[in-house]
Structure 1
Amino acid sequence: MQDSLQTAQSAINSTKIVPEKQIFSLWEILFGGGLVSNIIMVAIFLLGILALYIFLERYFFIKRASKLTPNFLENIKDFVQDGKIDTGIDYCKTIDSPEARMIEKGLARIGRPISDISNAMQNQGQLEVSKLEKNLNLLASASGAAPMLGFLGTVIGMIMAFFEISNVTGAVSPKLLASGIYTAMATTAAGLFVGIPAYFFYNIIVTKVDRLVLKIQTHTNEFLDALNKPV
């Protein structure tokens, strides 16, 4: 009798349904929220690619523009003192840098009032700054738009999840609620994952631009001081 009870108990235990353990799938979380959620997720990742491209393009562009030419300003001063203005202009044309193009404008107007020279250099400086800041507005927009898109995806996902729950008759399965929530929250996580680095990218580029502009202003002021120096 004892053996029969043990055998029956073993049979009952062997027939118990063991719940299947759910495997964490990043792909399913990111792209398992339906058509609207997938569209928003793709838009977020496209913003991330755009932000990374702009950051790398601007970083290396500014790095090239910041490259120092040994004794550049000293050579310009020597050309001015020796009266070799055309030689100085040709020398500036061989150097691909913002300050060289600004000083070239100044050299081309030597003989006019110093205010005209300064204005010409300032106008050229504005053009150079606009070149340095090219597409920075897009980088700033990407850093702000990505989290907002993520939040929009979360709101839409939550609306759709509660809409499905409202159509369920009887008790609501916690699994159904949890699945809808973590899928909806995935868009916010993706938006922050893109927006936070893009925000740092933007500030890094702005800082490099400011430093380069300060250096250019310093050199142009030295050039103007050299023109004003009594002979």
Structure 2
Amino acid sequence: MELQAQTVSQTTQHIFSLWDILFSGGIVSSVVMSAIFLLGILALYIFFERYFFIRRASKTPSDFIDNIKDFVYEGKIEAAVDLCKITNSPEARMIEKGLSRIGRPISDISNAMQNQGQIEVSRLEKNLNILASASGAAPMLGFLGTVVGMIMAFFEISNVMGTVSPKLLASGIYTAMATTAVGLFVGIPAYFFYNILVTKVDRLVLKIQTHANEFLDTLNKPL
């Protein structure tokens, strides 16, 4: 008898299947899951694309600003412009804009560099708002899927004649809550990805501002 009971228990025991849990909640749950996975793929793409873009933009030679200063002191403006074009970094483009205004009042040079700086910052921050939206939208979609799934589960239970088994109730609940888990699984890393990129952008912007100020000080410094 004990052997038969163990056999029945083993045959009725459910095997945990992540795929069945994720996509067994009906059409609404499947749509929500698909949307969350798409957000996850989008977040990963934006993170790696921005990460390597910012990394490339940060690779300015350590002696760049010193060489610019030497060229300015020696009056070799064309050589300084050529160095900026070769360097091809955000700070190089800002300084190149300032070099093109040499001979005008220092306020005009500063304004031109600030305008170019705003363009460079905008390039660095491209699509970061989408990444931030993905970090917030994924958990919200997960909660939506859970709420809809719970409503549908209880609606089906209400149509069951007689006593509702705990097994049926539990099955509907854990299937519905799977969307919340997946939403958090996507949203939490996306949130960290966003903050990592924002920190890198802030550091690069501070570096650019420092070099821009050094360049303006060079123009103001008497020979």
Shared fold per TM-score greater than 0.5: yes
Over residues 141-176 of structure 1, what are the superposed CA-to-partner deviations in whole Å (9 max), with x where a residue is unaligned?
000000000000000000000000110110001111
| SS of structure 2 residue aligned to 1:18 | helix
Task: Return the match for 1:121 from 100, 105, 113.
Answer: 113
1:96 maps onto 2:102 in alignment: no
* Unaligned segments of structure 1, at least 5 residues: 1-9
Q: Separation in 1 of the partners of 2:202 and 2:81?
A: 26
Q: Amino acid of the residue matched to residue 8 of structure 2?
A: V
1:156 maps onto 2:140 in alignment: no
Task: Return the match for 2:14 from 10, 18, 22.
Answer: 22
Q: 1:113 to 1:15 in 2, by over 3 A?
A: closer
Shift of 1:68: 2.5
- 1:186-201 equivalent positions in 2, closer than 5 A: 186-201=178-193
Q: Amino acid of the residue matched to residue 195 of structure 1?
A: G
Q: 1:85 to 1:164 in 2, by over 3 A?
A: same
Q: Separation in 1 of the partners of 2:39 and 2:5?
A: 52
Q: Amino acid of the residue matched to residue 87 of structure 1?
A: A
Shift of 1:207: 0.3
Runs of 4+ in 1 over 4 A off after TM superposition: 12-17
Note if contact 2:138-2:187 (Cα within 8 Å) is conserved in structure 1: yes
Higher Cα radius of gyration: 1
Q: Amino acid of the residue matched to residue 45 of structure 2?
A: Y
Note if contact 2:60-2:87 (Cα within 8 Å) is conserved in structure 1: no
Tell me the matched-pair count: 221
TM-score (norm 1): 0.93
Q: Amino acid of the residue matched to residue 64 of structure 2?
A: F
1:48 maps onto 2:40 in alignment: yes
TM-score (norm 2): 0.96
Deviates more, 1:82-91 or 1:52-61: 82-91
1:71 maps onto 2:67 in alignment: no
- The alignment yields a C-alpha RMSD, in angstroms, of 1.5
